[in-house]
Amino acid sequence: MNGNGDACKVASAQIEVQNVTRVYRIPGQAPVFALKDCSLTVEPGKLTVLVGPSGCGKTTLASILAGYDTPDSGRAIINGQPIKGPGPDRMMVFQETALWPWMTVMKNTIFGPTMSGRLARSEAEKRAIGLLNKVGLQECKGTYPARLSGGMQRRAELCRALVNDPAVMILDEAFRGLDVMTRELMQEYLVKLYEDTGMTMLFITTEIEEALFLADRILVMTNLPGSVKKCVEVDLPRPRDFHVLASQRYLEIKAEVMEALYEEGAKTFGKLNMLDFPGACAPAATQG
C-alpha cells in the first residue's frame, strides 16, 4: 500500500516516527504546520533517503530525530525508546559545515569522545587517525577547517561523527553546495562507508538522482504540512555504476519518485501563483 508512511514497515525498526506533528506558532500569524501526522520507519542497517520539495519540513523532522526539537504531538522512537534529547547515538551532519573553525581537524574529530569522557585522549586520537586515513585526510589533521576545500570539510565532518560510533547517521542535505564532481565523490564515500559499517542512515535531499544513487529505500514527503507520502524500494544492485544508472529498472523507479515529487512541486507553484503573483493571473481574468 502506498500513500502511507508505514507502507514498508518491518518489525525490527530502529527509528520510528509515529504521527508526529510540529507547529510553528508566530504571534500575529497563522500557525505553520511543518509536520502533520507524519509517520515513517528507518530500518536498521538500511540507507533510507528522504526526498521532498524544499521547505517541506525535512529539516524539522531531522531536528526532532536528532533531539534538538520536540514534536507537539506524536512520538519519535529509537530502538523502542522515545527520543528525549540529543545524544551520541544519533549523529547529524548539517546542510552547512558545522566544524568548529577554531579547532584543527584532529581536535574537531576527538571532541566527542574526549568531552564525554568515553575515550582517553590518546585512544581517541588513534581512532581519529584511522578514520582520517580512510577518507584521505591524514595530512590535514593539524589544519584549521577554513583551509580545507568543501569536500574535505565534509569528509572531516563524517569522521567527527563516526568516531562516536553512532547507531544512526542523519545527513541533512549534507552534500548541498558542493560542485558536481566533489558531490559524486562524496556520495561514493558515503555508500562505501555504509557498506563497510552497515550503519543505519537517514539521508535527506531534494535531488532525485542523489536519492536513487544512495538509497535502499526512498521516502517521498508531501509539501507543507509535511508527512511521508510514498515509500519506494530501490532494488537496484550495488555498485550503482553507469550500467545500473542506464537500466530500465532505474528509469522506472525514477519515474515513480518523480511523479510523486512533482505533484508536490506543482502544488507549491500553484499556491505561489495565487499568493505571491496575483498580477500573473490578471490578464486571463480580464479577458474572460
Q: Which residues are at the interface with another protein (CB under 8 A)?
A: 66-68, 85-88, 90-92, 94, 96, 98, 100-103, 111-112, 115-116, 118, 144-147, 160, 164
The minimum distance between CB 137 and another protein, in angstroms, equals 17
The minimum distance between CB 236 and another protein, in angstroms, equals 32
The minimum distance between CB 238 and another protein, in angstroms, equals 29
DSSP, collapsed to helix, strand or coil, labels residue 250 as helix
The minimum distance between CB 121 and another protein, in angstroms, equals 14
- Cβ-contact 50, 38 below 8 angstroms: no
DSSP, collapsed to helix, strand or coil, labels residue 153 as helix
CA distance 82 to 76: 6
Left (φ > 0), alpha (ψ -120 to 50) or beta: where does 3 sit? left
CA distance 166 to 163: 8
The minimum distance between CB 217 and another protein, in angstroms, equals 25
> Helices marked H in the chain — which ranges?
58-66, 105-115, 121-134, 150-162, 180-197, 208-214, 242-245, 248-275, 278-287
Q: Pick the closer one to another protein by CB: 90 or 229.
A: 90
Pairing of the two strands 47-51 and 200-205: parallel
Asked whether the bond before 145 is cis by omega within 30 degrees of 0, the reply is no
The minimum distance between CB 229 and another protein, in angstroms, equals 28
Could you count the other beta carbons within 10 Å of the beta carbon of residue 119? 19
The minimum distance between CB 169 and another protein, in angstroms, equals 11
Q: Pick the closer one to another protein by CB: 160 or 230.
A: 160
Q: Pick the closer one to another protein by CB: 48 or 164.
A: 164
Q: Pick the closer one to another protein by CB: 86 or 198.
A: 86
The minimum distance between CB 170 and another protein, in angstroms, equals 10
DSSP, collapsed to helix, strand or coil, labels residue 82 as strand
Give, rounded to a whole angstrom, the gap between the first and last alpha carbons of the chain. 43
Q: Pick the closer one to another protein by CB: 102 or 269.
A: 102
Q: Pick the closer one to another protein by CB: 53 or 112.
A: 112
CA distance 158 to 49: 17
Q: Pick the closer one to another protein by CB: 105 or 135.
A: 105
Q: Pick the closer one to another protein by CB: 38 or 169.
A: 169
Give how far the C-alpha of residue 83 lies from the chain's centroid of Cα atoms, to the nearest Å. 18
| φ, ψ of residue 189 in degrees (nearest 5) | -55, -45
255: amino acid identity, one letter: A
